[in-house]
Structure 1
């Protein structure tokens, strides 16, 4: 890999899970990078290790071996409090579900995400919601949103602190065609603004908007798109 500082870089990631005497090797030496301004899609069959990989890249899980760096700063193999601080500042995570707190409005969900970081991003909450097409739903609770609106609200939360890296796990898995295209256009626009975007997906539409496709199988990268 290039020595140039990447938005995101993972080197030789291993992840083992043990249950009694049984050991599952979820990741087996995965290395990848995402440049600023680049959209990368990670594809592969169920059980290939894609979601485990995203958890390690986001600092939500610790790899058993190897390391992850965001803008050249190592986030793996640190205490959880340090990982959480680095994640809040530099990484936006968009999950298929659970991105929103059920009893808070869309606006308050974004404000909650911002409370984890000192200082205020240049983009106001109002402007951020306008960017994702939710200016008119700012006071709505998650249960009052459609599937497409939920995905866009989750994206607003992921972008609350203007991260340099955006990680999305099946962000369009439960959306209709029109909503899927809108969410993918929003993800693509973040890359155009200089963010490094990685999408774990089964969607052919998501693959089409990507600059590069990484194929995984059996916990390994079989094709990194180069």
Structure 2
């Protein structure tokens, strides 16, 4: 039973950051990220807060150097924020040892990186199997079923270098979905694709959201922005809602 936000209990719940985080598939609160090079200090993230609900697709846009990829790395637990926290399904993933972050990421988060997420010397099928092996005891879709879903069943035996750009994007998506994640993070997933292939990939991401996954896309693509439920703009390390 949902709390009435007008009631004292509902108001307290709405003002409790941990309660709000628990209700979101993914949440970030007051994220800061500093980088130092000699005497120089760069502030890549300046107090970024966001939430992504189950079944929701959120696009993060902004100019190059705005902090988008840094934000995604912090959300995925690949990088540690200098301040603030990240929670996945209400569980804090930030400010933990790397082994714990990796375990939580393997069980709950799918990551599709701009540089792709395939091991060069493994076949497409073995790349998916490798992602499966990180989540023993956790529900996972069989590798061949996943490759059928992304249209690569007939290419499962080939190496990544033998794939076209569109096939690489679909293979990377299969790897990101191998752990049946509750959260899917994609960094420029359609950046080098033609229009038809871009629409296929975006439809796959929307299908994951329709199945209850929380999807966050870092993108420059107008088409990706169009299909998103919400749009967040990042500029000079600060976030603002473009389309709430």
Report the structure number with the largest CA radius of gyration.
Answer: 2
Match of 2:148 among 130, 133, 146: 130
Task: State the SS of the aligned residue for 1:174.
Answer: coil
Is residue 132–residue 140 contact of structure 2 (8 Å, CA) maintained in 1?
no
Q: State the 4+ residue runs in structure 1 displaced beyond 4 angstroms.
A: none
CA distance in 2, matches of 1:222, 1:6: 18
Q: Which has the higher contact order (CA 8 A, sep 6+)?
A: 1
Q: Deviations over 1:21-73 (max 9, x none)?
A: 11100000000000000000000111111110000000000000000000000
CA distance in 2, matches of 1:192, 1:89: 20
Match of 1:67 among 85, 97, 102: 85
CA distance in 2, matches of 1:225, 1:81: 36
Is residue 140–residue 178 contact of structure 2 (8 Å, CA) maintained in 1?
no
CA distance in 1, matches of 2:77, 2:37: 23
CA RMSD of aligned residues (A): 1.2
The 1:122–1:91 alpha-carbon spacing in structure 2 relative to 1, beyond 3 Å, is closer
Match of 2:213 among 195, 199, 210: 195
Match of 1:114 among 117, 132, 143: 132
Task: State the SS of the aligned residue for 2:167.
Answer: helix
Is residue 152–residue 171 contact of structure 2 (8 Å, CA) maintained in 1?
yes
Is residue 85–residue 92 contact of structure 2 (8 Å, CA) maintained in 1?
yes
Structure 1's unaligned 5+ residue stretches are none
With the length of structure 2 as denominator, give the TM-score of the two structures. 0.90
Number of equivalent positions? 226
| Equivalence for 2:169 | 151
- What is the CA-CA distance between 1:120 and the residue it aligns to? 5.2
- What is the CA-CA distance between 1:123 and the residue it aligns to? 2.2
Structure 2's unaligned 5+ residue stretches are 1-12, 15-19
Is residue 32–residue 224 contact of structure 1 (8 Å, CA) maintained in 2?
no
CA distance in 2, matches of 1:91, 1:53: 15
Is residue 131–residue 178 contact of structure 2 (8 Å, CA) maintained in 1?
yes
Q: Does 1:14 align with 2:32?
A: yes
The 1:103–1:198 alpha-carbon spacing in structure 2 relative to 1, beyond 3 Å, is same
Is residue 140–residue 179 contact of structure 2 (8 Å, CA) maintained in 1?
no
Q: Deviations over 1:137-188 (max 9, x none)?
A: 1111101111000000000000001000000000000111111111101011
Alignment of 1:1-226 (within 5 A): 2=14, 3=20, 5-119=23-137, 121-223=139-241, 225-226=243-244
